[in-house]
Structure 1
Amino acid sequence: MSYKVAVVGATGNVGREMLNILHERQFPVSEVVPLASRRSIGQEVTFGDTTIKTKCLDDYDFSDTDIALMSAGGSVSKAFGEKIGQQGCVVIDNSSHFRMDPDVPLVVPEVNADAIAGYTKKNIIANPNCSTAQLMVALKPLHDRAKIKRVVVSTYQSVSGSGKAAMDELWSQTRAIFVNDPIEPEVYPKQIAFNVIPHIDVFMDNGDTKEEWKMVVETMKILDPDIKLTATCVRVPVFLGHSESVNIEFENPLSADEAREILRTAPGLMVVDKREDGGYITPIEAAGEFATYVSRIREDETQPNTLNLWCVADNLLKGAALNAVQIAESLCNNYLKKA
């Protein structure tokens, strides 16, 4: 069995990773079609050892395509997502546009793969926010064991989450500091080099940013509507990899030692938790890795039935491209079986 797969937004950071992961995981493709905007027509991307030229999304006929992996932003998803689904192609969308649509499943395969079955309502499946995805992988096995009541999370999110321009801005600002050039923020409202910015996405009326709101509502949709979560999302001067400091309150007792053993055997997770110098994972070590890493697992002595942990993942992989491909794998294995 093989499938024709289109990658929408193939020239972007996440689109390129989708192509890499499809090849690396030996996804059963009969053909891969990279799609982009008119200004990127003919731009070359790679799929394994093969170089492919991008085609125009506007003119593409999806009627003979099985799956479209979309990572071209919310406006593109809004304009094309449902139209593609109506042509019989299943859309796996990385933008925020469809995440809270009740007729669109929001999926992290290690957590709620069974939700994929609901794709038939619109032929669309949503990929969660990058910071939510890695958190769900870490919380799911603990929730199954002791039932989570409340989560307090602070994120330390890399600039790659804002795209190539943001990565270029961190690089240029860092260089400017060393050569004493002036710094003029463009992508971010303040200097990002050698700084942290407690502001990701737009501000909402209650004072939260939309990134923080996404973590709240996506956790409820993916894991459990009864979980109370509060987040502070921070942009840090790191090129790749998101980190999270997580405080978790449970209904039932759960020791740090038991939690550590549960997480060691959970899908998609790697535990690196030695109480010594360097006995934990940092973003630079998670870069390029498929796993979500958990470290610093310990009991919160100020609150009963509460643990702290540190969670790190490559945001372009588990936070975006890898999760989308994993959804496609589950879709094909369980729902799209064909000759």
Structure 2
Amino acid sequence: MSKTVYPNPFITQRADPHIWRHTDGHYYFIASVPEYDRLEIRRSATLEGLAEARPRVVWRKHGGGPMSALIWAPELHYINGNWYIYFAAAPSEKIVNGLFQHRMFVLECSDADPLSGKWQEKGRVATPIDSFSLDATHFTHAGKSYYLWAQKDPAIDGNSNLYLAEMSNPWTLKSAPVMLSKPELPWEIIGFKVNEGPSVIEGYDKIFITYSASATDENYCIGLLWADLESDITDPSQWHKSEKPVFRTHADNRQFGPGHNSFTQNEKGEDVLVYHARNYAEIEGDPLYDPNRHTRLKTIDWDDDGMPVLGEPPADNREI
């Protein structure tokens, strides 16, 4: 059976995309908007229908304070009967010691419909180090709830490392964070030393974390961590790291800087990679403020060893 091919780009000018397939069969989409000023959700009865679904704004940045600037990388999750949005925000666009001042925050909606329901601010997710932090995701494994995110440790060179902790509730850490990865390989440190944007997918006998590395230009790419499903995933020694990126720029296809992915499944049960990329490398000014990181979808394969095969980012197949 041939793999499903999606319109590419799928949704224009939406970076850091996250798609949640709900138990009611509907798909929900959330991502960073170019203005970095709001959170909006789309819903569709089909995965492909998200491309034309009307977005609903559910929250806007504050006029001042810690959630007043640069609203980044939201994710929508359904946990224990309630909806949650994890996102990063900063008090301003000011850079201090080479870094923005983002921290991680949570919204909660107890209504059935997250587009029309009331969202409440649950505050910041506190970690032991008060430093630049972002790109949080949530997953359950072996009956436990986990929080996975990127954060700067002042004692470690670079912008951000990947950390994992068990949660006592959707906005509170239960266990001490453990570092699973830091930027150290040549392809992780181009422009900036970065590990960020983690996402989790489970295979037959392994659990995988994809993550993004290097600067957000054409050097941005996706790496891979994995551990045995039966292992203690809070033990960093159980995790293995790919020596090379598993998804990266493909100049012949005019796809540059693919990264910050999530995963979903389509109606046929195929695993789908959700990511952003540009179709040009020539960026004027700061790549962060170039709006054309478009959301894209690609079905993925699995090899005989049970490892995900992301392949290469396919060329655009529709006009923008």
- TM-score of the superposed pair, with normalisation by structure 1: 0.30
- TM-score of the superposed pair, with normalisation by structure 2: 0.31
- Relative to its length, the structure with more strand (as a share) is 2
| Greater RCO structure (CA 8 Å; 6+ sep) | 1
